Structure 1
Amino acid sequence: FLEAFSQTGDVGSAAKVVFESCKVKRQAVLFEKPLTILEVRRSFEAIAETAGHGAREKKERLIEALLSLASPLEAKYLVKIFIGEMRTGFHEGLMEQAVSRAFQIPLETVKRAGMVLGDIGTVAALIKAEGREAPSKISFQVFRPVKLMLAQMANDVAEAIKEHDGKTAFEHKLDGARVQIHKCGEDVRIFSRRLTDVTRSLPEIADIVRREVKAREAIMEGEVIAIDNEGHPIPFQHLMRRFKRVHEIEDMAETIPVRLYLFDILYLDGESLITLPYHQRRQILAENAGGIPLTKQIITDSVDEAEEFLR
C-alpha cells in the first residue's frame, strides 16, 4: 500500500491499485447483492453509531466487511469518503447554493436551516419531503447539535472595527477546544467542534453546567481548556488526551483537570436567540451562567483600547 501511495499520492488511488493487484476476494459479509448507495449509507450509519467498549475493533470489522464487497474503483472512493479527502473542490458553501437554486429558496434560508439542523443533506431531504416552506419552520432542538458559526479573518484591529461599522467586541483566544453545550433539566450533553458527543470525556464540565446554569433549557457555546494543579492553562495537546479518553475518565480528570469558559448562548427556554445582537446574547448568558466564568471581553470603537486589551 505504501508503495502504491508513494506512486499515486492519493490514498484512494492507492487502495484501488492494491485491490487490482491483489484481486481482493469479495465476500458476502454484510450484503448479498452488489453495493448500492443506500446500503453503503446504512453501513456508514452503523459505523458511526458504534460506541463503547471495543468500538474501534467493531468499526474496523464493519469497514473491512464493506471494503470486501467493493470493486477496486468502489474501494477507491469508499476510502476517500472515509478519510474526508475527495479532492473535488466541492464544499458545503457550494452545496448550499445548489440546494437554494434547485428548490428556488433564498440562500440565507438554506444556510440558516443548515446551521440549525447541522447538516445540509438533511435540509435537502426535508425540502424534498415537506416542500419549500419547510426550512422556514425549522427551530432549535435541545440535544440536536447546531452547526457552529465560524469566525472570519481580519488583518488587524482597525479592520475588525471598520467591518462592524463601529463598536466591536474583542475577546482573548484561549488555547482550548470549542464546545457546544445543551441542557434540558438535569440532562446535559457536550458536543465538539465536529458536533461529536464528548460528554463522557468531560463529566466535570457536565456537572458544573448542571449545577450552575439557571435555565431549564439552553444551548450555549464555550471553550474548554486544560489546567495544571494550580489552575494555570497548559498546552492544547494535553486537552486532546481528555477528548480522546472514554475509559478511566476519573483518573484522567485528576491528571488533566479542565475548565469551562462560556462566550455565547443560542437558545433559552424555548426561544431562539440567534437574531439578537451579540451583546444582548452575552448579557442573557451572564444572567444564566451562574458561577461559570465567561471569556474576558471588551466592547469598543477605539483601536488603541482594543490593542491594549489584546496584549
Structure 2
Amino acid sequence: MRFLDLAATSAAVAATTGRRAKVELLADALRALDLSEVSVGSGYLAGELRQRQTGVGWASLRDLPPPAAEPTLTVTAVDAAIDEIAAVHGPGSQARRRHLLAALLGAATADEQRLLVDLFRGELRQGAQAGLLADAVAKAAEVPVTAVRRALLLAGDLRAVALAARTGGAAALAGFGLRVGRPLAPMLAQSAPSVDAALQATGVPAVVDVKLDGIRIQVHRSGDDVAVFTRSLDEITARLPGVVAAVRALPVRDVVLDGEAIGLDTAGRPLPFPQTSSRAARRATTAATGVTSASGAADVAPLAEATALTPYFFDLLHLDGDDLIDLPGRQRWARLADVVDGSLLVGRAEVEDPEQAGAVFAAAIDAGQEGVVVKSPDAPYDAGRRGTAWVKVKPRHTLDLVVLAVEWGSGRREGWLSNLHLGARDPRTGEFVMLGKTFKGLTDDLLRWQTERFLGLAVERGDWVVRVRPEQVVEIAFDGVLASTRYPGGVALRFARVLRYRDDKSAAEADTIDTVRALHAGRPTD
C-alpha cells in the first residue's frame, strides 16, 4: 500500500465525527493492506510505531525539508526506513540519524510528512481510539468484535491481533490467552454516589471490598521471577521490593494477582496517597542487597527498605497454568484465599442489603481508607472494561479530568501557571468538553511542578492563557454538578478542587461527559 493512502485515511478519520463512519474508513484501509503490511499499517492507524524507541526527538522535527511533489513511499518502505533510524547508535549517531530522517521526510509529500511527524512525536490525534480500531479490525476480517476485543485485552498488541484476525480469523483470535509476565488491562470500577446506588447496579448478594488509597498493582510470578506493573501497565518491579518478596514467598509456581500497594504508618493506618506515591517513585538499588532477579530488578528485603509499601490483593487472574478471568468472582476469590495469607488480602464482606453495605463503608472510612468497591460475586474478570460488576463509592464526588489549558497566576502566584481548565472526555468524538476552572487545592510544590509540566505540553502560549496538549489527568473533588450555559457540555462542577495528579492514567481513561451528566441527573453512572 502507498503510505499516502494511509495518510489520507488518517486525515479522513480526523475530519469525521461519526463513529460508524470512522470505523468504515479504518476497515477499508485495513482490508487494503497486504498481509505483510497489516502489522505495521494497523499500528500506524493507531498512532504507534513498531519501533518503540527511535531516537527522534522534538528538536529533530522542528525544521522539515521541503515535501516531495509526488508520492513514492510505501508502508513497507517507511517501516524499513524507521528501522534503520532506530538502529543507529555509537559515535556519530546523531548526525547519521538526522541524515536518515531528512531522507525519509524529504521523500514524503506534505500529507505524508504530517502523518510521519505525528507518529514520531506520538501525537496522532484522529479520534481512532482502541475501541474504534477493534471494531475496524473485526469488520475488515469479518470476525466478531467481541473476539477482537478479548484478544486485544489479553495480547496488549493491536498489531498482532490485527494480523491474527486477517490471517486466521476467529480461531486465531481465540488462541490469545493470558501470559504470565505480560500485563493485561485491569478491570475497572464505575462510580456511584452511595452504597445503595452501587447495590442497584450490582444486585444482591454482593461483596464489598475496602478501597485502599494506594497504587494499583498487577503482580506476575513465574518460578522465582516476579514482575510488578502499574495500572497503566508500566513495570515498577525494582521500586517495590516488599511486594516482590511477599509474592515470591507464596506457595505457588505461577500466579497473576491484582491488588494495591500502600504505605502504612507505625499504627498500621494508611499514609496519605502522596506519600505512598512518593515511596513507589523511589527506585531500590542493588547496593542494599546482593540479589538481582532474572529480569534485572533489584530485590531488597522489605524490613531493610525504609520506603517499603505493603501489598494487599483482591483478585486472582492466573494460578499454576490455569487462567481464571472467565470464572465468577466468588470462585476466583476462594482460590485467592487459598494461596494468599489473610494479612495480605483486602478487607472484604458479603452483604445482603444496603444497611450491611453501609456499615462496611462507614468502617472503611473510620479506618482512614478511601471508600469501598461493591462487586457482583457472579461476574467474570472483565479485563480493561468499566462495567456494572464493580462499583466504587467514596465519601465525596471525584472525577479524573484532563487539563486543557492553564492561566498564569497573579499576586502571590505571579509567574506560576495556576488556574486549570478542566475537560471531560467525549466518548463519541474522542475530544474533551470543558467543565470549568479551578486553582483550589494547589500547594506551592504543585504550582512549581505544574508550571514546568504544562509549559512542556504547551501548544499555544498567550499572555494570560497557555493552551496545552490534552494529556495530563488530574483528580478533582467537587460538591456537585450544576447546569451551565457557559460551558459547551451544559454542565459545570461546583467548588472544584485539585486532589492529585494522576500520572498512572492516560487521557483516554479520563471520566466522560456522560458520567458528569449522569451525576447532574442524580443517577448512577454507567
Q: TM-score, normalised by structure 1?
A: 0.73
Counterpart selection for 2:229 from 180, 191, 197: 191
Counterpart selection for 2:184 from 146, 156, 166: 146
Give the number of the structure whose alpha-carbon radius of gyration is greater.
2
Structure 1 pair 245–76 and aligned structure 2 pair: CA distance change class (3 A): farther
Counterpart in the other structure of 2:350:
299
Amino acid at match of 1:94: L
Give aligned pairs, total.
276
Is the CA contact (8 Å cut-off) linking 1:267 and 1:274 kept in structure 2?
A: yes
Distance in structure 2 (CA, Å) of the matches to 1:182 and 1:37: 36
Shift of 1:132: 3.1
Distance in structure 1 (CA, Å) of the matches to 2:135 and 2:232: 22
Counterpart in the other structure of 1:50:
none
Is the CA contact (8 Å cut-off) linking 1:262 and 1:292 kept in structure 2?
A: no
Note the alpha carbon deviations across 1:179-217, whole angstroms, 9 max, x for none.
Answer: 111111212111121222211221221111101x22211
Structure 1 pair 308–230 and aligned structure 2 pair: CA distance change class (3 A): closer
Distance in structure 2 (CA, Å) of the matches to 1:106 and 1:214: 39
Alignment of 1:160-309 (within 5 A): 160-211=198-249, 213-246=250-283, 248=285, 254-290=305-341, 293-309=344-360
Amino acid at match of 2:131: G
1:135 and 2:173 matched = yes
Q: Secondary structure at the match of 1:133?
A: helix
Alignment of 1:27-46 (within 5 A): 37-39=78-80, 42=83
Q: Secondary structure at the match of 1:93?
A: helix
Counterpart in the other structure of 1:112:
150
Distance in structure 2 (CA, Å) of the matches to 1:236 and 1:162: 30
Structure 1 pair 282–158 and aligned structure 2 pair: CA distance change class (3 A): same
Counterpart in the other structure of 1:28:
none
Distance in structure 2 (CA, Å) of the matches to 1:172 and 1:85: 38
Shift of 1:221: 0.7
Is the CA contact (8 Å cut-off) linking 2:262 and 2:311 kept in structure 1?
A: yes
Q: Secondary structure at the match of 1:153?
A: strand
Higher strand share: 2
Amino acid at match of 1:224: A
Distance in structure 2 (CA, Å) of the matches to 1:201 and 1:175: 18
Structure 1 pair 188–87 and aligned structure 2 pair: CA distance change class (3 A): same
Structure 1 pair 175–44 and aligned structure 2 pair: CA distance change class (3 A): farther
Considering only aligned residues, what root-mean-square deviation do their CA atoms show, in Å? 3.8
Amino acid at match of 1:220: L
Distance in structure 1 (CA, Å) of the matches to 2:189 and 2:213: 16
Distance in structure 2 (CA, Å) of the matches to 1:153 and 1:255: 35
Runs of 5+ unmatched residues, structure 1: 1-14, 26-33, 48-59
Shift of 1:87: 3.4
Is the CA contact (8 Å cut-off) linking 1:158 and 1:303 kept in structure 2?
A: yes
Q: TM-score, normalised by structure 2?
A: 0.45
Amino acid at match of 2:311: L
Is the CA contact (8 Å cut-off) linking 1:35 and 1:70 kept in structure 2?
A: no
Alignment of 1:9-158 (within 5 A): 19=62, 37-39=78-80, 42=83, 70=105, 80-81=118-119, 85-158=123-196
Distance in structure 2 (CA, Å) of the matches to 1:86 and 1:138: 28
